[in-house]
Amino acid sequence: MEKFEKLTAIAAPMPLINIDTDMIIPKQFLKTIKRSGLGVSAFYEMRYDMDGNENPDFVLNQDAYRDANIIVAGDNFGCGSSREHAPWALLDFGIRCVISTSFADIFFNNCFKNGILPIVVTPEQLTLLMDDAQKGSNARMVVDLENQIVESSDGTQIPFDVDAHRKHCLLNGLDDIGQTLQKATSIDAFETQMRESRPWV
Amino acid sequence: MAGKTLYDKIWDDHVAHQAEDGTCLLYIDRHLVHEVTSPQAFEGLRMAGRPVAAPDKTIAVPDHNVPTTWDREDGIDNEESRIQVDALDKNAKEFGVVYYPVNDIRQGIVHIVGPEQGWTLPGMTVVCGDSHTATHGAFGALAHGIGTSEVEHVLATQTLIQKKSKNMKVEITGKLSPGVTAKDITLSVIGATGTAGGTGYVIEYCGEAIRNLSMEGRMTVCNMAIEGGARAGLIAPDATTYAYCKGRAEAPKGDMWDQAQAYWETLYSDDDAHWDKVITIKGEDIAPVVTWGTSPEDVLPITASVPSPRDFEGGKVDAAARSLDYMGLTPGTKLQDVEVDAVFIGSCTNGRIEDLREAAKIVEGKTIKSNIHTAIVVPGSGLVRLQAEEEGLADIFKAAGFEWRLAGCSMCLGMNPDQLGPEVRCASTSNRNFEGRQGRGSRTHLMSPAMAAAAAVTGRLTDVRELG
Mutation for A interface: B434, B438, B442, B444, most A CBs within 10 A:
B434
Q: How far apart are CA A167 and CA A112, in angstroms?
A: 9
Residue B40 has pLDDT above 70, yes or no: yes
Supply angle C-alpha B381, B387, B389, rounded to 5: 105
Name every residue whose Cβ is closer than 8 Å to that of residue B262 and which is 6 or more positions away in sequence.
Answer: none
Give mean pLDDT, residues B282-297. 98
Residue among A35, A87, A106 minimizing CB distance to B146: A106
Give mean pLDDT, residues B130-150. 98
B322 touches chain A (CB under 8 A): yes
Spatial contact of B28 and B160, defined as CB atoms under 8 Å apart: yes
Residue A58 has pLDDT above 80, yes or no: yes
Nearest-Cα residue of chain A relative to residue B124: A201
Given an 8 Å threshold on Cβ–Cβ distance, is A23 in contact with B156?
no
Residue B1 has pLDDT above 80, yes or no: no
pTM of the model: 0.96
Given an 8 Å threshold on Cβ–Cβ distance, is A23 in contact with B23?
no
Residue B44 has pLDDT above 90, yes or no: yes
B65 touches chain A (CB under 8 A): yes
Residue among B157, B195, B441 minimizing CB distance to A79: B195
Question: H/E element holding B280?
Answer: strand B277-282
Residue B468 has pLDDT above 70, yes or no: no
Residue A1 pLDDT: 85
Given an 8 Å threshold on Cβ–Cβ distance, is A84 in contact with B148?
yes
Name every residue whose Cβ is closer than 8 Å to that of residue B1 and which is 6 or more positions away in sequence.
Answer: none
Within 8 A of B200 by CB-CB distance, chain A residues are: 105
Residue B451 has pLDDT above 70, yes or no: yes
Nearest CA among B224, B255, B274, B245 for reference residue B7? B274
Nearest CA among B60, B143, B57 for reference residue B99? B60
Give mean pLDDT, residues B148-154. 98
Give mean pLDDT, residues B47-55. 96
Of A46-50, A190-194, B1-5, B87-91, minimum mean pLDDT range: B1-5
SS3 B124: coil
DSSP string, B415-443: SSS----TT-EEEE-SS---TTTTSTT-E
Nearest CA among B72, B383, B393 for reference residue B249? B383
CB atoms inside a 10 Å sphere around CB B21: 10
Given an 8 Å threshold on Cβ–Cβ distance, is B147 in contact with A84?
yes
**Phi, psi angles (nearest 5°) of residue A44:** -50, -50
Given an 8 Å threshold on Cβ–Cβ distance, is B252 in contact with A33?
no
Residue B357 has pLDDT above 90, yes or no: yes
- Beta-strand pair B277-282/B232-234: unpaired
B19 touches chain A (CB under 8 A): yes
Residue B423 has pLDDT above 90, yes or no: yes
- Looking at the DSSP bridge assignments, the partners of residue B26 are B15, B160
Given an 8 Å threshold on Cβ–Cβ distance, is A186 in contact with B25?
yes
Given an 8 Å threshold on Cβ–Cβ distance, is B40 in contact with A30?
no
Across chain A, mean pLDDT equals: 96
Residue B346 has pLDDT above 80, yes or no: yes
Nearest CA among A110, A95, A164, A38 for reference residue B151? A110
**Which B residues 262-301 touch A at CB under 8 Å?**
263, 295
Spatial contact of A9 and A68, defined as CB atoms under 8 Å apart: yes
pLDDT digit string, tens, across residues B2-22 = 899 999 999 999 999 999 888
Residue B234 pLDDT: 98
The percent of residues above 90 in pLDDT, for chain B, comes to 98
Buried b (16+ CB within 10 A) or exposed e, B209-235: bbeebbbbbbbbbbbbbbbbbbbbbbb
* ipTM value for the complex: 0.93
Measured between its terminal Cα atoms, the distance across chain B in Å is 53
Residue A138 pLDDT: 82
Given an 8 Å threshold on Cβ–Cβ distance, is B50 in contact with A177?
yes
Given an 8 Å threshold on Cβ–Cβ distance, is B257 in contact with A181?
no
Closest CA of chain B from A36, distance in Å: 10
Given an 8 Å threshold on Cβ–Cβ distance, is A17 in contact with B436?
no
Given an 8 Å threshold on Cβ–Cβ distance, is B157 in contact with A190?
no
B105 touches chain A (CB under 8 A): no
Angle between helices B148-157 and A105-112 (to 10 degrees): 70
Residue among B123, B415, B440 minimizing CB distance to A30: B415
- Burial of B295 per CB tally in 10 Å (0-12, 13-18, 19+): buried
Give mean pLDDT, residues A185-191. 96
Residue A137 pLDDT: 85
